[in-house]
Amino acid sequence: MPFTFTKNDRGISSFTFPIMRKLVIPTARRLFSPVVTNPENMPATGPCFIFGNHANYFDPFFINLDMTDEPTAGVMTRDQFHKTLPRIFMDSIGIVPTSKYVPEPGIVRSVMKMIDKRRMIVIFPEGGRRWSGKPKPLIETTLKLFWKMSIPVHPVQIHGSYLSWPRWADKPRKSTIEVRWLDPLHSSDFTDYQTFADTCRNLIDFDEYNPPDSVQIHSCSKPASGIERFLFRCPETGESGAVFSPDGLHVYSRTSPLSYRMNLRSRLVDPQGKPHSIVDMFETISKMPMVMDRNSVLLSNPGCKINEINKDHDLIKKGPGFTELTPDSLLLSLGAEKTRISIEDILYMSVEQNHKVTITTTSGIHQVELRNASALQWKNYITRLKDGESPVRSLQ
């Protein structure tokens, strides 16, 4: 049995909770100078749900800033539980693992146990961090859970979550963000589920790329470092992997004259001083036709690491290999062992951290740790193939 700390009848370790607060909360305050507004709407104990927008690793800790008596419980991507220390500490305060976008009846049972223990339960209903700062569709089963449990639902808006540390970026920006607690919702105050669900959606339906004036970004030595994960094609030529930043400040393309300097608010400033939106560029490249080579290969990644996740959700590291995407299949090659997955057999897909693509199929779960490639691009292409889009031979 893996090691776990002893917890009380509410699922909290009295040993690790103060340690986590002393280690993580001061770091959050030092980096992001969070300002909490409407603290009177913040719950002190449960049972209740807490939900909000999600773009930054630190979002759960922003929610816990002033919760000195007890921590929140909740769910977290299973990928974090494959690491020993995060697993031990998350388990010690009542966090349970889940797989992104994959229906898991056991999670509902775990949440109901948290409710029985009068816990404050944090769930980010978008299912993962935002890449562009724009809202993602909310998971319907999460909203239905909020509705059916008949306990208070506390919305919180984290303004500055995205700009202070974009998902694609290597480094956080020293900043001032706002953690805004809104009036709690009670399902009994709504005449029907749809009105309740629409209210939940509207409360976090805001563009984080354009935050309110309360958000300030103060400094970052290399704000463009990691931009190739997001701008995975040149917005002018469509060439994959062409965008790069040699110094974490300037952004260029290997296949066009594109030349920018990134400012602290993640705008690309051209030589004439005009700012350009990376979100607009991302939307442009996301809609460009997918181009395959003469061998009908769309994407390939030699030197990736191939893993499997077994029925017990254990991560099995298989080793370095090669992966290749064609219009009808995904090939995973590990020495003489080759696994070809039909696009139509892919049931669910997620990007873990910034470089791993997890594929759930009819026969098992595979994970690819990409090497010097954009996991977002792989997900984008596979999603479009599943939607029936046909690649082209050339953009010309």
d(CA 35, CA 66): 11
Strands 356-361 and 346-352: antiparallel
DSSP E strands, 35-99: 35-37, 48-52, 73-77, 95-98
pLDDT in tens, the chain (396 residues): 678 889 999 999 999 999 999 999 999 999 999 999 999 999 999 999 999 999 999 999 999 999 999 999 999 988 888 888 888 999 999 999 888 878 788 889 999 999 999 999 999 999 999 999 999 999 999 999 999 999 999 999 999 999 999 999 999 999 999 999 999 999 999 999 999 999 999 999 999 999 999 999 999 999 999 999 999 999 999 999 999 999 999 999 999 999 999 999 999 999 999 999 999 999 999 999 999 999 999 999 999 999 999 988 899 999 999 999 999 999 999 999 999 999 999 999 999 988 999 999 988 999 999 999 999 999 999 999 999 999 999 997
CA 245 to chain centre: 23
Cis peptide upstream of residue 47 (ω within 30 degrees of 0): yes
Structural domains of the chain in order of their starting residue, each with its CATH number: 16-218 (3.40.1130.10), 222-287 (no CATH), 299-386 (2.30.29.30)
**Is-contact 290 240, C-beta < 8 A?**
no
CA 351 to chain centre: 8
- Whether pTM > 0.85 for this model: the answer is yes
DSSP 335: T
DSSP 180: E
d(CA 344, CA 36): 46
**Is-contact 197 214, C-beta < 8 A?**
no
Count of Cβ atoms closer than 10 Å to residue 221 Cβ: 11
**Is-contact 218 176, C-beta < 8 A?**
yes
Count of Cβ atoms closer than 10 Å to residue 49 Cβ: 29
Residues paired with residue 338 on neighbouring β-strands, in sequence order: 333
d(CA 217, CA 279): 18
Q: What one-letter code names the amino acid at 379?
A: K
